[in-house]
Amino acid sequence: MTPVLPERQYDTMLLNVGPSHPSTHGVLRVLVELDGEVIVRAMPDLGYLHRGIEKLCENRTYHQCIPLMNRLDYLAGEVNNFGFCLAVEKLLGIEVPKRAQYIRVIIAELTRIASHIFWLGTHAHDLGAMTPLFYGFREREKIMDLCEMVSGGRMFPAYFRIGGVAADLPEGFVPEALAFVKDFPTKWKDYDTLLTENPIWKKRTVGVGVMTREECLDYGWSGPMARGSGVDWDLRRDNPYSSYEDFDFNIPLGTREGDVYSRYLVRMQEMLESAKIVRQALEKLPKGDIKVDDPRISLPPKEKVYTDIAALINHFKLIQEGVTPPKGEVYQAIEAPKGEMGFYIVSDGSGRPWRVKIRRPSFVVLNATDKLARGRLLADLIALIGTMDIVLADVDC
Amino acid sequence: MHRAIEFLQERFPEDVQEVVEFRGDTTIVVNPKAIRAILTALRDAPEMGYKYLSMIAAVDYHPAEPRFGVVYNLYSHRYRDRLTLKCLLPGAAPVIDSVVSVFSTADFHEREAYDLMGIVFKGHPNLKRILLPEDFVGFPLRKEFPQRGQ
């Protein structure tokens, strides 16, 4: 874990940034070799938050993995479950009912807005702008409240289930969510006014952390990180899942060279696009079931468990043994707020996954730290960590 | 049939060992000795265009032999499709060529696979533990590693 100290050729200095530093967004340590104020080398040191989620999954039923997945990228808790549930459903060869698909999209896109707001607030805060954080958290709080309405949880809703969602949307959710997304563009203007034309903000971000399109692909960048450099790719549009093809939305692309400012613009636009998707989903929300009608996958309704012996047995078996997908291996990726989030699941035909490999976008992006930071000033490193939008729980898994 | 199957069978007739289709995913099992050449060919051939390595996963198939699987997941932005390659490695000495020279992103993925599963990537510029402390003993994602500590 600890990087080996480089041989000192001339007067360079080693500086520890982190593991406990406000700008590292969690417990990330970057060992920086400095020549004066210029970075000669930056070596990220991870693992402080490693909980072994991939290993923990191997001893749990598929449903028991769901709360663990919340804790990957905890700023977008439910999106992780989106990917995991879709992967298990792919293993099982099922498709969830349309209503559940729409509900999932609504929650996922609201979460994307919340995640981007958090990124914006902390990123701006790191670079000296305090206000966006407070404005942003005003809206993020509303999204948290909406999550709480559907699931009782704010950060970790654990609301999605294999085969659907845990419960239908509560009464009053649709009008409140609609009011939020209708109002959001007005609120969004506050952030935009504070930063987009702000000369200090531009001084800190324009031309910093430039990645070309080819470099992005080489480093495995995805999501807004790649789109900031003009990679026209979004899994929601290009490999649609969960009815994303029903919605009309744009994929914002970086208009400039792929620098920190360009990625800022992309994420800002994405928030508006997400609000657009949520609005469409709420307005077109179909009626019907919220989970698949298959006793081997979905739990029976509670009143049946209390009155019907077959339903009770079914409930017991599903809790004890869990869903049992056939033997096989699948990979399912989704467009998480931070990029491509993928789940590679190996099933041996039992009720527990043989192997779960999680492709975490934050982990992949961090690989390019040295490339981005080399030759830049130390102060730019703070902007670079901010633009990467990493969550250390996602990096370390 | 996946478009890469024919391509690989033509270019690397000796090295394509098996093709598995499951739930719309295509996995091609290839000879580990040829992995670097195969990935380079898939990346550089314009009709393939697999310029993006999504992830590398290591799988322990214990007690099967060959025991370990190293899985490469590729994506083509031009054709919007995925391809999974798998190499099987013996349990005694799981060694495979590093592909960092083909995809820079492989750096962290390979270090993670080494750290947690003990796969050795020959030619990796900095093959050290990444998530666990350097003095950690054992490879926790292997099946013999207990779920709970002593």
Please count the structural domains in chain B: 1
* β B95-97/B120-122 pair status: parallel
DSSP 8-state secondary structure symbol assigned to residue A76: G
Would you say residue A103 lies in a domain? yes
Answer yes or no: do A238 and B134 touch at CB < 8 A. no
* Confidence (pLDDT) at A258: 87
pLDDT at A2: 53
Report the CATH number that the domain containing residue B44 is assigned in CATH. Answer: 3.30.460.80
In a domain, A28, yes or no: no
Instruction: Considering only the beta carbons, identify the residue of A47, A220, A342 that sits closest to B105.
Output: A220
- Residue A131: inside a domain, yes or no? yes
Q: Is A272 within a domain? A: yes
Distance (Å) of CA A10 to CA A81, A108, A150, A375, B51: 49, 51, 59, 16, 38
- Chain A nearest C-alpha distance from B11 (Å): 23
- What is the domain-level CATH number for residue A171? 1.10.645.10
Return the SS3 of A18. Answer: coil
- Window B:49-78, CB contacts with A under 8 Å: 51-55, 57-60, 71, 73, 77
Is B13 contained in some domain? Answer: yes
Q: How many domains does chain A fold into?
A: 1
Nearest CB among B51, B131, B134 relative to A217 is that of B51
Residues of A within 8 A of B129 (CB-CB) are: 1, 47
The verdict on whether omega for the bond into residue A224 sits within 30 degrees of 0, i.e. cis, is no
Query: Cα(B83)–Cα(A327) distance, rounded to whole angstroms?
Result: 19
Asked whether the beta carbons of A44 and A378 are under 8 A apart, the reply is no
Per-residue pLDDT of chain A (397 residues; tens, 9 = 90+): 555 556 655 678 888 887 877 777 778 899 999 988 889 999 999 888 899 999 999 999 999 999 999 999 989 888 999 999 999 999 999 999 999 999 999 999 999 999 999 999 999 998 888 899 999 999 999 999 999 999 988 889 899 999 999 999 999 999 999 999 999 999 999 899 988 898 999 989 988 889 998 999 999 999 999 999 989 999 999 999 999 999 999 999 987 688 999 999 999 999 999 999 999 999 999 999 999 988 889 988 888 899 999 999 999 999 988 899 999 999 999 999 999 999 999 999 998 999 999 999 999 999 999 999 988 998 899 889 889 888 998 998 8
B142 reaches A (C-beta below 8 A): no
Dihedral, CA of residue A334, residue A338, residue A339 and residue A343, to nearest 10: -40
pLDDT of the residue at A183: 93
Q: Do B73 and A231 touch (CB under 8 A)?
A: no
Residues 6+ apart with CB under 8 A from A215: A229, A368, A371
pLDDT of B27: 93
Q: Is B37 on the interface with A (CB under 8 A)?
A: no
pLDDT at B100: 94
Query: Quick check: B15 contacting A, CB < 8 Å?
Result: no
pLDDT at A128: 86
Q: Which of B26, B52, B71, B78 is the best mutation test for A, with the most CBs of A within 10 A?
A: B52
- Per the DSSP assignment, residues forming a β-bridge with B97 are B122
B105 touches chain A (CB under 8 A): yes
Residue of A nearest to B148 (CA): A56
pLDDT for A269: 93
Contact between chains at B131 and A1 (C-beta distance less than 8 A): yes
In a domain, B53, yes or no: yes
CB A337 within 8 A of CB A76: yes
What is the average pLDDT value for chain B, to the nearest integer? 91
CB A364 to CB B22 under 8 A?
Answer: no
**Domain membership flag for residue A373:** no
pLDDT of residue A9: 57
- Chain A touched by B150 (CB under 8 Å): no
Task: Please report whether residue B36 resides in a domain.
Answer: yes
Residue B75's domain spans which residues?
A: 3-91
B61 lies in a domain? yes
C-beta atoms surrounding A21 within 10 Å: 16
Contact B17, B30 (CB under 8 A): yes
Residues in A touching B51 (Cβ below 8 Å): 214, 217-218
Residue A155 belongs to a domain: yes
- Residue range(s) defining the domain that contains residue A286: 53-361
The reply to whether residue A217 touches residue B52, judged by beta carbons under 8 angstroms, is yes
Q: Which residue of A has its CA nearest to B133?
A: A1
CA nearest to B23, candidates A64, A339, A222, A345: A345
What residues in chain B have per-residue pLDDT under 70? 149-150
Q: Burial, A130: exposed, middle or buried (Cβ in 10 Å; 0-12, 13-18, 19+)?
A: exposed
Of B20, B73, B128, the CB nearest to A331: B73
Residue A122 placed within a domain: yes
> Of B87, B73, B83, whose CA–CA distance to B35 is shortest?
B87
Output the pLDDT for position A276: 94
Residue A58 CA to residue B117 CA, distance in Å, equals: 14
Asked if the structure places residue A372 within a domain, the reply is: no
Give me the interface pTM, i.e. the ipTM.
Answer: 0.94
